[in-house]
Structure 1
Amino acid sequence: MSKFSPCLWFDGKVEEAAEFYVNAFEESNIDKVDYYVDSEHQPKGSVLTITTTLAGQEVILLNGGPEFNFTPAISFFVECETTEQIDKLWETLSHNGEVLMEFGEYPFSKKYGWLNDQYGVSWQLVLSETPQSITPSFLFVGKQFGKAEEAMNQWIEIFGDGKVEYVQKNPDGTVAQALFIMHGQPFRVMDSGEAHDFTFTMATSFYVYCKDQAEIDQLWDAVTAKGKEWPCGWMEDEYGVCWQTVTNDLEKLLDNSDPDRAYRVMQELYKMKRIDIDTLRKAYKG
């Protein structure tokens, strides 16, 4: 299992979006569908999350409501192996979407383009002649401009098992492009001094799979020290990026094959900010 998985917050249309993405990317499928077991947040029995694999990367789609919108502050950098592959993907993702950088030849690639798809999710496509892969990319703008390198180094320190692969600087010392690895997974960061009217939102967050309560506590304290605590294990760091602590057995604890048991566990989860594994396990056992 990967250490990190992007979580995309949708206002409805989550099933439609899941089918759209699975059909768009190679090595993709729908792995699991979970449903709401109460009516406090969405109608009982409606889709809560859809876990997908897209180009080999786990991506969770959450049916959360209208509170948050996607922005290009977090995009997904897609490396494509062939011209045919990238052309097809661009055609699919750009349908009813918004082009941010025209699809064409650039000094750094024979084919590249940046777009928001019809659901608002932002994608950068590049011809790299390597197997199709998806890498989260963070764009630091506005009040966060100039903090890309600092954030990258802080995340490596907090989450561990990381290294910087390369950093390309702008003339003013800010980051034009940087690639780093955490727990074997690649991430990118960039700074932009242009007058963008967006920043990070909870529409795109990241599951962090934790092995035990000690790891949850360590990450929670480190991430929220200058950030914010949110319910159900969500934590926001000082840059405004949101992470979710997820236990390795949470999928079992929230299994809705027994609706009463799932309801008990979910009610305890709703009471929490920092995840308490023992409390969830006790609710599971009744």
Structure 2
Amino acid sequence: MLSDSGAAPRPFIMPAVMFDGPAQDRAEEAAEFYVKLFNSSSGQEAEVGGISRYPERTGKAEAGALAFGEFRVGDQWFVVMDNGSGQDHGLRGISLLVNCEVQKEIDFFWDSLSADSDAENCGWLKDKFGMSWQIVPVNHAELLRHPNAFAHMMEMKKLVIADF
């Protein structure tokens, strides 16, 4: 959208997240947090891309908040922005799914991201920005074919591969 003309091409569709409510004016912090998290742990290269700031207070956004920002994890680009309208939009209707190869990876992402134990259920969690995540084993579909696996999973918070 606002990427430097010399930047790598962006995909046809990019998930976009608007930060509002308790996460208002935290879009840049979130992008930097996710980039650091995935660079340090997943073997996926991550980076912050182009950013554009509100030059002055705009709607709910303070001067300097992100009017537009982008970050990449692996080949996937995301758009982040702070709510510059005067309306309440909240952070809802999206979750990000992380496919993990082993339990150690599930444990790492769960421990790094989960910030609301009341929002944890069968592999879902919410982070400190209010973003919903699904932290699941890459062979999740196969595990769910085990007898009583679905009912058992519904009782779990963090998914534990050995418990399926």
User: Per the shorter chain, which TM-score range?
Assistant: 0.7 to 0.9
Q: What is the alpha-carbon distance in structure 2 between the residues aligned to residue 199 and residue 240 of structure 1?
A: 9
Structure 1 position 132, deviation (Å): 6.8
Of 139, 143, 153, which residue of structure 2 is paired with 1:249?
139
Unaligned runs of 5+ in 2: 3-8, 40-44, 56-62
- For residues 195-240 of structure 1, the C-alpha deviation after alignment (integer angstroms, 9 at most, x for no partner) is 2222113x3212111111001101111111x344411010101111
Q: Distance in 1 between matches of 2:157 and 2:11?
A: 36
**Which amino acid counterpart does residue 181 of structure 1 have in structure 2?**
R
SS of 1:134's partner is: coil
Query: Which residue matches 1:269?
Result: 153
Runs (5+) with no aligned partner, structure 1? 1-78, 80-107, 109-129, 256-260, 281-286
How far the C-alpha of 1:268 sits from its partner, in A, is 1.4
CA contact (8 A) 2:22 2:129 kept: no
> CA separation in 2, counterparts of 1:159 and 1:168?
23
SS in structure 2 of the partner of residue 231 of structure 1: coil
- Identical columns (%): 30
What code does the residue aligned with 1:173 have?
Answer: G
1:142 corresponding residue in structure 2: 21
**C-alpha contact 1:156 1:163 (8 A) present in aligned 2:** yes
State the alpha-carbon separation in 2 of the partners of residues 275 and 166 from structure 1.
35
Higher strand share: 1
Distance 1:177 1:132, change over 3 A: closer
Larger Rg: 1
> What whole-Å deviation, never above 9, does each CA across 1:92-136 have from its counterpart, x for those lacking one?
xxxxxxxxxxxxxxxx7xxxxxxxxxxxxxxxxxxxxx8972111
Alignment of 1:105-124 (within 5 A): none
Contact 2:116–2:125 at 8 Å: present in 1 too? Answer: yes
TM-score, structure 1 as length reference: 0.47
Given the alignment of the two structures, is residue 180 of structure 1 paired with residue 71 of structure 2, yes or no? yes
Q: 1:189 aligns with which of 80, 85, 93?
A: 80
Structure 1 partner of 2:102: 212
Q: Is contact 1:141–1:196 with CA below 8 Å preserved after alignment?
A: no
Following the alignment from structure 1 to structure 2, what is the Cα–Cα distance between the partners of residues 152 and 132?
A: 18
Q: Which has the higher contact order (CA 8 A, sep 6+)?
A: 2
Partner of 2:128: 238
